[in-house]
């Protein structure tokens, strides 16, 4: 390689690194500091799912609950664009536009249609996608082509015998699988997809749902594995007891913290997740979609003041 070519490559690499730093610094889930300054909007365009987790209960018309898988309504891509226009105009501190359900974004073509519309009109926003990872290897070319910047994969286990206790089935290439066979397919695709995404330069977060008595003692192995793979951050989420796991006990905050501390040497821990709805927007923990007009205006004024101080 000539010196001249080498210099151009160096500039390209450092340009990409700078871009990644900017994306992380403005993403409220990837940076603890960003959570008070920048917001995100979730567009609920993805109702279908290609697997069934034993803890998942999706609701598409619910205004009262605040947890993953819940939305007041499912939007079409054009409705999602219109909501984005209104929200970004009113709350310019929102820098991240994401699809996180209520089902799996990669099991719905509407996800990519939506992202393409958003990217064409708002090229500067960060596109964020959250998936169970089953379809990741197949969808990676489309993910890259669409310009997705940040990717979350839910990885609850790397041992199929443990994963098989967390899911009822997966539907892969038109066929339904159950038990350990289903878990093997899911884990294989999750790990292959994470590797492809790291290689493509995406910033990766892993969500791991902590289910006492099933995967709690195994999560440290997940942390070691994702460290090896170059994952940026890990989010250990407490089980919300519902669906098939309605009668189980969630981890205590102390148990979760102890596990986060044990995993921290391997991979940075996100500790401020609020398990948001699929249609949330605003700051983490201050969901504007669930607020009165008056409260929204107060937050807007607070953020304008904060921006003036910066
Ligand atoms: C609604 S899902 C959307 C993205 C995708 N379907 C997935 O599962 O990764 C967002 C996150 O919420 C988590 N989640 C769903 N139900 C949960 C529950 N009952 N307790 C804890 N986490 C849950 C999922 O595991 C996932 O990490
Ligand atoms: S992958 Fe996500 S949406 Fe699908 S069942 Fe599991 S938690 Fe629910
Ligand atoms: S659920 Fe957690 S990781 Fe997802 S947007 Fe909310 S705070 Fe961020």
DSSP 231-260: --EEEEEEPP--GGGTTSPPPPHHHHHHHH
C-alpha distances (whole Å) from 1 to each of 5, 13, 37 are: 6, 16, 43
Nearest-angstrom CA–CA distance, 163 and 272 = 25
How much is the pLDDT for 262?
98
The answer to whether the CB of 251 is under 6 A from ligand 2 is no
The pTM score is: 0.93
Nearest-angstrom CA–CA distance, 281 and 300 = 13
The residue nearest atom 2 of ligand 3, judged by CA position, is 273
Q: Which of 104, 182, 206 to mutate to test the pocket of ligand 2 (most atoms within 8 A of CB)?
A: 104
Atom of ligand 1 nearest to the CA of 245: 19
pLDDT at position 1 over 50: no
Element (H, E) at 131: strand 126-131
The per-residue pLDDT for range 286-309, each reduced to its tens digit, is: 877 777 778 888 877 777 777 666
- A 10 A CB-CB count for 122 gives 16
The answer to whether the CB of 104 is under 6 A from ligand 2 is yes
Burial of 235 per CB tally in 10 Å (0-12, 13-18, 19+): buried
pLDDT at position 212 over 50: yes
User: What backbone phi and psi angles, to 5 degrees, belong to 204?
Assistant: -110, 135
Q: 76 C-alpha to center of ligand 2: Å?
A: 20
Q: What CATH fold (topology level) applies to the domain 3-300?
A: TIM Barrel (3.20.20)
pLDDT band at 14 (very low <50, low <70, confident <90, very high): low
Sequence ranges of the domains in the chain: 3-300
Name all residues whose Cβ lies below 6 A of ligand 1: 49, 55-56, 68-69, 100-101, 103-104, 130-132, 154, 207, 209, 237, 239-240, 242
Long-range contacts of 176-182 (CB under 8 A, 24+ apart): 182/51
Q: Quickly list H helices, the chain.
A: 3-25, 77-90, 109-121, 136-146, 160-163, 179-199, 219-229, 253-263, 293-309
How much is the pLDDT for 264?
98
Q: How many residues does the chain have?
A: 310
Atom of ligand 2 nearest to the CA of 50: 4
- Which tokens go with 65? 């609950």
The answer to whether the CB of 206 is under 6 A from ligand 2 is no
Q: 253 C-alpha to center of ligand 3: Å?
A: 17
The per-residue pLDDT for range 67-98, each reduced to its tens digit, is: 787 888 899 999 999 999 999 998 999 999 99
How much is the pLDDT for 65?
75
Lowest mean pLDDT among 14-23, 108-117, 180-189: 14-23
Q: Give the CA angle between residues 147, 123, 305 to the nearest 5°.
A: 125
């Amino acid at each position: 390689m000539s010196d001249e070519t080498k210099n151009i490559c160096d500039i390209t690499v450092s340009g990409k690194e700078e871009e990644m730093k900017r994306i992380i610094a403005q993403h409220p889930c990837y940076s603890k500091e960003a959570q008070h300054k920048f917001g995100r909007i979730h567009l609920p365009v993805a109702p279908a799912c290609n697997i069934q987790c034993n803890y998942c209960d999706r609701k598409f018309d619910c205004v009262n609950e605040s947890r993953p898988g819940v939305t007041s309504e499912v939007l079409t891509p054009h409705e999602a664009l219109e909501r984005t226009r209104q929200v970004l105009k009113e709350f310019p501190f929102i820098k991240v536009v994401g699809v996180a359900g209520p089902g799996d974004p990669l099991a719905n073509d509407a996800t990519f249609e939506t992202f393409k519309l958003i990217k064409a009109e708002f090229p500067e926003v960060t596109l964020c996608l959250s998936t169970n990872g089953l379809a990741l290897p197949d969808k990676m070319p489309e993910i890259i082509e669409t310009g997705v910047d940040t990717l979350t994969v839910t990885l609850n286990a790397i041992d199929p015998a443990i994963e098989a206790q967390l899911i009822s089935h997966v539907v892969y290439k038109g066929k339904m699988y159950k038990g350990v066979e289903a878990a093997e397919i899911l884990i294989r695709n999750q790990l292959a997809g994470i590797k492809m995404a790291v290689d493509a330069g995406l910033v990766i977060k892993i969500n791991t749902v902590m289910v006492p008595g099933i995967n709690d003692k195994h999560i440290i192995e997940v942390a070691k594995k994702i460290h090896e793979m170059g994952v940026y951050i890990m989010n250990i989420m407490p089980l919300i007891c519902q669906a098939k796991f309605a009668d189980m006990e969630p981890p205590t905050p102390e148990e979760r913290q102890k596990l986060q501390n044990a995993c921290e040497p391997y991979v940075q821990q996100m500790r401020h997740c609020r398990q948001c709805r699929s249609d949330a927007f605003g700051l983490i923990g201050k969901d504007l979609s669930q607020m009165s007009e008056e409260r929204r205006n107060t937050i807007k004024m607070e953020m304008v003041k904060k921006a003036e101080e910066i």
